[in-house]
Amino acid sequence: MTTHTLIFTPSGITATAEDGETVYEVGLKRGIDIQSICGGKGLCKRCQIEIDTGKHAKFKMDVAESHYSKLSPTEKKAIHDRELPEGRRLSCRTKIYGDLVVNIPADSQERETSIEKKSTKFETELNPSVRLYMVKLPEPTLEENPVDSEALVNTLRNEHGLNLHPSHKMVVKLQEILRRHERNVIVVVRAGKTIIDVWPPMAGDLYGGAIDIGSTSIALYVFNLTTGELAYEKAAMNPQIRFGEDLMSRVSYIMMNKGGDERLTETIRTQIREMLAGAVEALDIKLDQFLDLICVGNPIMHHLFIGANPVNLGVAPFTLAVKDWIDIPANELGLGLSDAAQVSLFPLIGGHVGADTSAAYLTQIERMKDRSVLLVDIGTNAEIVLSHNGKVAAASSPTGPALEGAEISSGVRATLGAIERVRIDPVTKDAKVKIIGHDDWIADSDGSLEGRNVVGICGSGIFEVMVEMANAGLLDQSGLFKPEAAPHRFSQEGNVWTYLLLDQPGNPIIVKQTDIRAVQLAKAALFAGAQLLAETLDCQHFDEVLLAGAFGTHLDSKYVAEIGIVPMASAEIISSVGNAAGMGAAMALLNVKDREAIIAAIKDVEKIETALEPKFQDYFVSAMKFPTASAPTGGKTRGRRRAR
C-alpha cells in the first residue's frame, strides 16, 4: 500500500497516511484535534481544513492539487449554502493521494492551543498620542456672520493652547453635532497637531491596541486611552506557521512560490483584523473609538505586515526596507478600523534584531542602565541585548525551532496535553511528567498515565528532559546516549537510538539521538551570540539575565542554567520579565514620551552580526556540551556509540 506524509499545522504534528484515507481518519488516529459531532459522516460541517499547495522548503515537500481528492458533492453543497468558506475542505471528505500540509483553523480545533502571553505590570504615565477635548462653542449672532469651523479653531486655541485646523470631513460632521447638542462637541486630536474626528458629547472613551506579532503567536492588548486601564487581551496562533515553522522557511516559501509574499501578508493581516473585530465586539464600542495601534515584531514579521517583501532579509547583507519608527493610516493595511485610525511600528535594530526586541528593551531600559544585564528573547531566532558600562549591544542567533518543540520527534507547540515538566529518577531511569491542563505528575510506571492523552513535549519540557537525562546519566557531555544505563528504556531503529520517555499506547513519547543534536545546535547558537556580545563590551559577568517572551516565562531558571544555554549565568541571576515586547508596545501606546525614548535609545545600540564574526563558530562548538552530564568515556561501549 502506498503511504504519504501529512504535516498538520499549527501543531507541527506529522502523520503517515495510506492512499485513499481521508484527512479526518488520519487525524483521528494521530490524535489531531479536529472538531466533529457527526463522526466524520459529512453532516456537521465542523471538520474544516485548509490545504496549502506549493513548495514547502521547511518540510521538503511539494504539495500539488493532485495529492488530494476534488470537491465532493457534500462540500459543493456546503459552499453553496455558505457553510464552508471558499478555500476550505471538509477533512472527512478529503481523500489523500500524496504528501500534504494541512492547516487546522482555530475554529475547527477541538481544543484551543494553550497560548499564554498575559500582560505583565509596567509603569508609565498616561500621555497618549490621541486625546479628547470637549468644548462648547459660542452661540452665533447675525452681526458676526459666524463660521463654525473658525469658532472651533479659536476655542481650541484659547482654552487648550492648540493651533489646529479641521479637515473637510470634520467640517461636514461638525455643524450637525453642534445643532443637535447645544453647541457642545468632543474633538479628537492626534499628537496635538491634527483634528482626526469630532464626536457628539458623551460619545465614550478612546481605545488603542498594542500587538506583538510573533512568528508563532500573536498577542493583542487593548487599553482604554482615557483611563489607561487594560480593557481586553487575546492571543492566537500565527496562521503563517503553515508556510513554515521558522522565519527562513517562510522566506524560502516566498522565493519558491509566486505571490508568496502577498499570501503571507494577507494571512497575517486577516488574523489581526479578526482579533481587532473581536475586541471591538467584546468591548461593545464603536470603530471610531479605536484609533491607535502600536505593533512590534521581528524583522520578517514586521516587513510582511506592512507589505514589504522580506526576501532580502534572508541573504547577506540582510537589507531592511525600513528601519525607523513608521506611522501608517490603518485603512491602508485593511485592518477593518476607521479612516481616522493609525498603525505605528517600533524601530528595528538590524536585519535580524527587530521591533519586538526594541520594545522589550524599552521595558527594561531603567533596569539595565549602568549595570551588566543580558536580555534574551528565546524563539526560532534568539534576540539578545546586553548593557555594560553604559554601552548597549544587540545580536541575533539562529536557534531554530527545536526549543519550541519543532523538529523534535515528539515535539509539539504548547497545547493542552503537552509535557511541560519532566523528572527522571536517577536510579530507575523512569520518568514522570506534568502536562498542560493538569496539575498532577503522571508516569507509565504507576498507572497514573491511564486516561491521560499526552500529545508530545513542548518547549519548557524540551529544556527539562535534556537536563534530566544528563543528570540521570542517560547521556554524556557530548550529547551521546548511554543506552547501557537503561536498557529497558532504550531501543534502536537502524542506526538511531531512541529513549522512551512515556510508554503511552498508540502514541509513545520518545526522545531520539537526533533530537539531542537539534537542541545542542540551538543552545550553542544562543550561547555563542551572548558570548560575542559579552566580548564586544568587555563584560566579565552579568548582574542579571532577563528572559523575555511567553516561552521564557515558562522556563525554570534551574534548567536554563544547567542546560548551558547562557554563559556566566547561574540560576540565581536568571528571571523572567514576561511578554516584554507586547508591554513595550503598550508603553508606547499609553505614553508618547516612551515613543521618543525608544527612538532615541535605538540609535545608540551597537548591532553585532553574528554571521560575520569569526569567533562565533569557536564559541558555538564549545557550547555544544551538556555541563551537568558525565564526561565522555573511552572503551568499547564509547566506540560503539560513536559508530552509530
Would you state the cell numbers that stand for residue 252, as one nine-digit string?
524560502
Residue 67 pLDDT greater than 80, yes or no? yes
Would you state the cell numbers that stand for residue 294, as one nine-digit string?
502600536
Sign of CA dihedral 294, 300, 306, 312: positive
Best CA proximity match to 429, nearest among 448, 443, 410: 443
Best CA proximity match to 559, nearest among 421, 379, 380: 421
Rounded distance between C-alpha atoms, residue 627 and residue 466, angstroms: 11
> What's the CATH superfamily of 3-108?
Beta-grasp domain (3.10.20.30)
- Specify the residue for cell string 531520539: 512
Residue 577 pLDDT greater than 50, yes or no? yes
Beta carbons of 196 and 331 less than 8 angstroms apart: no
Task: Determine the average pLDDT of the residues in 38-64.
Answer: 83
Would you state the cell numbers that stand for residue 470, as one nine-digit string?
544528563
DSSP state string for 8-76: EETTTEEEEEETT-BHHHHHHHHT-----SSSSSSSS---EEEE--EEETTTTEEE-GGGBPPPPHHHH
Best CA proximity match to 525, nearest among 315, 408, 382: 382
376 pLDDT band, cuts 50/70/90, is very high
Residue 117 pLDDT greater than 60, yes or no? no
Helix (H) or strand (E) holding 342: strand 342-345
DSSP-derived 3-state class of residue 468: helix
What ranges do the domains of the chain cover? 3-108, 130-199, 207-345, 359-391+523-608, 402-518+627-643
Rounded distance between C-alpha atoms, residue 399 and residue 417, angstroms: 25
DSSP for residue 144: T
pLDDT value of position 406: 67
Best CA proximity match to 584, nearest among 287, 267, 347, 275: 347
Rounded distance between C-alpha atoms, residue 9 and residue 50, angstroms: 10
Would you state the cell numbers that stand for residue 584, as one nine-digit string?
513595550
Q: What is the pLDDT of residues 154-182, one digit of tens each?
A: 999 999 999 988 788 888 889 899 989 98
Average pLDDT, the chain: 87
Class of the 130-199 domain?
A: alpha beta
230 pLDDT band, cuts 50/70/90, is very high
207-345 belongs to CATH 3.90.1570.10: no
> What's the N-to-C CA distance of the chain in angstroms?
31
Tell me if 3-108 shares its fold with 207-345.
no
Q: What is the pLDDT of residues 486-538, one digit of tens each?
A: 999 999 888 889 999 999 887 899 999 999 998 999 999 999 999 999 999 99
